Amino acid sequence: MFHGFELARRDGDGVRLRVRYGGSGPAVLLLHGHPRTHATWHRVAPLLAAAGHTVVCPDLRGYGESDKPPTDDEHRPYSKRAMAADCLAVMRGLGHERFAVVGHDRGAYVATRLALDHPRAVTALSVLDAVPVGEALRRCDATFAASWWHWFFLGQTDKPAERVINADPDAWYEGTPEAMGAEAYEDYRRAVHDPATVHAMCEDYRAGLGVDRAHDDADRRAGRRVRCPLQVLWATRDDMADLYGDVLGVWRDWAGGPLTGGPVASGHHMAEEAPGALAAALTGFWRGAGVPGGA
């Protein structure tokens, strides 16, 4: 898994992250979703490296083997702003001042926040299976609540979800070695069997319902947009189109530059299920956008 890549712990913004990196050329940062670790990218990262990119894949704070800082009443240590600051620090520590960013699921919220908060650093943004947190909650209806009820379950504090999940993590989380790859599956399984990781992942969702939404709503009111070229991809066997219809239309108010994208024939975890198609879509987007690369 990740042949030729290095595995290390690197400094984030006051925490240390487990990071896998390799390749050479224009830098790209890959951000995983819930409940995965950086290992979800193990089929895509070598393809991007072979295409001439330096590829960096961290475990987000709280996830996998990255640090899990104490939280507060507003869950700010697990805000996407804090996670984005981690990512910027990691990339700068590796010598990359400018880079493309790809985020899936919860990682897409971090990637978007990184592009909004640090526009000079991000050359291109690719969002997989997500709309902004603030948009999702603003548009929330009965269909969303029925399909994405886990947002509200994981976000509870009065009756925390951790007790339910930790009673039987294998029953709660899905994944198989056949679908994910044996090493990636074992990495993910170690994570979800760690109560500290489960707590941190719930904190991610608690931040999403509060401080992250507040940050998105403030940006929306201020007319702040993603300045770099923006690509939005969604899986055909997921529910993004059912929830939002015109997925690109949701993002038009957030795009201050070129906007492109479309469906990928895959289930939700497209990096695992359709790595070749995803890698081709990403590299094609970067070429078409004329994205500069490297530090």
pLDDT value, residue 114: 98
Cα–Cα nearest to 152, from 136, 175, 166, 168 = 136
Q: What is the pLDDT of residue 200?
A: 98
Residues in the chain, overall count:
295
280, 253, 250, 251: which is closest to 264 by C-alpha? 280
Residue type, 193: H
25: left (phi over 0), alpha (psi -120 to 50) or beta: left
Distance CA 263, CA 239 (A): 11
Contacts of 98 (CB under 8 A, 6+ apart): 27, 120, 121, 122, 123, 292, 293, 294, 295
Tokens of 291: 């994205």
pLDDT at 236: 97
Give Cα separations from 151 to 69, 144, 254 (angstroms).
21, 10, 23
Tens-of-pLDDT digits for all 295 residues of the chain? Answer: 999 999 999 999 999 999 999 999 999 999 999 999 999 999 999 999 999 999 999 999 999 999 999 999 999 999 999 999 999 999 999 999 999 999 999 999 999 999 999 999 999 999 999 999 999 999 999 999 999 999 999 999 988 999 999 999 999 998 899 999 999 999 999 999 999 999 999 999 999 999 999 999 999 999 999 999 999 999 999 999 999 999 999 999 999 999 999 999 999 999 999 999 999 999 999 998 887 644 3
Q: Which residue is it, tokens 């189109």?
A: 241
Q: Which of 234, 242, 285 is nearest to 264 (CA)?
A: 234
What pLDDT was estimated at residue 10? Answer: 98
In sequence order, which residues have a C-beta less than 8 Å from that of residue 39 and are 6 or more positions away? 1, 20, 64, 180, 181, 183, 184, 187, 188
Question: What pLDDT does 290 receive?
Answer: 84
Strands 230-235 and 122-128, by their bridges, are parallel
Domains of the chain: 6-289 (3.40.50.1820)
Q: What is the pLDDT of residue 292?
A: 62
Distance CA 76, CA 70 (A): 10
Q: Write the single-letter amino acid at 139.
A: R
Q: 3-state secondary structure string, the chain?
A: CCCCCEEEEEECCCCEEEEEEEECCCEEEEECCCCCCHHHHCCCHHHHHHCCCEEEEECCCCCCCCCCCCCCCCCHHHCHHHHHHHHHHHHHHCCCCCEEEEEECHHHHHHHHHHHHCCCCEEEEEEECCCCHHHHHHCCCHHHHHHCCHHHHHCCCCCCCHHHHHHCHHHHCCCCHHHHCHHHHHHHHHHHCCHHHHHHHHHHHHHHHHHHHHHHHHHHHHCCCECCCEEEEEECCCCHHHHHCCHHHHHHCCECCCEEEEEECCCCCHHHHCHHHHHHHHHHHHHHHCCCCCC
Catalytic residue numbers, as ranges = 105, 268
